[in-house]
Amino acid sequence: MHVLQIYNPSSLEYMNNIKTLWVLDIFYIVGWLAIIFAEGAWLLDLGRLSLGIGFGLTCYVGPVYLAEITPKNVRGLLMSISQSMTGYGASFTFLVGSFVTWRSLAIIGCIPSLLLLLALFFIPESPRWLDYIENQRLQQNSDDNVLNLFRRKYLHIVIIGVGLMVVQTSDGLCGFLFYMSEIFDSAGISSTLGFILVAVVQIPSFVLTAALIDKFGRRTLLMASATGQCLGCFLTGLSYFLQVYKFEGIYCDTPYDK
C-alpha cells in the first residue's frame, strides 16, 4: 500500500485542508468497502489502491492541518502524538488481525473512516489557510507557482523535505511491518506475542519522543532515530545471514534447523 502512496502537496493549491480531508476519507471508505465485498483479486487490488491513495494524501494534509491549528509551544508535542497514533493504529491492526479474518479486519478498519466522515461536518478550516486565501485575494497578480520551488533559494529546503519523505518510506520499516509475522516466527517467537511486544515498546518510545522533541530539536532526534534504525536493520540482516550461512564454531538453533 505504501508503494501506491500519492504525495501531492499541489492538491492543496486548489482545495483547502478540509476539502482534501473529504477526498482522502472517500478513498479510505471506498477502499475498505472494496475489500469487504471482494470476491476476486481485482477488487482486493482496487481496495488497496484506493487505501494507498488515501494514505498518501493523509501523509501530507494531516501534519499540515495539525501544524496550522496548534500553538507553536505545543506543536512538537502534538505532532509527536499524531505520529504515535499512526504507530498504535498499525500495531492494533496487526494484533487484531491475528484473531479475526481479513474481511472482519476490513470492517473494523472502515469504522474510523466513517467516524471521520461525520466529524468533518464539524471541523473548521485552519486560520493559516484563511489567511492564505485572504492574501491571495490581495495579490491577484502574484506569479507564485509550483516551479518556484525549484529556485535556488528554495531548492535546499525542497531536497530536505522530499528526502525525508523518501527515506521514511524506504528505510526498511515497511518491510518489517509487512513481514513482521514471518520475522517473529523465524526467531521462534509467537507472532501474536510479538505484535503485543511491539505495541508495548512503542508506548515509551513515543512518550520519550514527545518529551524530548522540543528540548533537543527535530534534527537531533532525526539523527538519533536514523542511527537506531540503521543498527536495527543491520542486526536483523546479520541474524538472517547467520541463519542461512553457518560458519564453523557458530550454531544458530532456529526453525530453519528443524
Residue ranges and CATH numbers for the domains of the chain are 1-142 (1.20.1250.20)
Q: Give the integer Cα–Cα distance in Å for 129 and 65.
A: 9
Q: What is the mean pLDDT of residues 192-215?
A: 75
- CA–CA–CA angle 43, 44, 48 (5° rounding): 115
The amino acid occupying position 192 is T
User: 197 is written with which cell numbers?
Assistant: 511486544
What is residue 131's predicted lDDT score, i.e. its pLDDT? 64
What is residue 137's predicted lDDT score, i.e. its pLDDT? 61
Asked whether residue 5 carries a pLDDT value surpassing 50, the answer given is no
Among 9-23, 74-88, 103-117, 173-187, which stretch is predicted with the lowest mean pLDDT? 9-23
pLDDT tens readout for residues 88-111: 777 778 778 778 888 898 999 899
Report CA-CA distances (Å) from 173 to 200, 207, 212: 17, 20, 22
Can you give the C-alpha Rg of the chain in angstroms?
Answer: 21
pLDDT tens readout for residues 165-191: 777 777 777 777 777 778 888 777 877
pTM of the model: 0.65
Q: Give the integer Cα–Cα distance in Å for 153 and 145.
A: 15
Three-class DSSP category at 140: coil
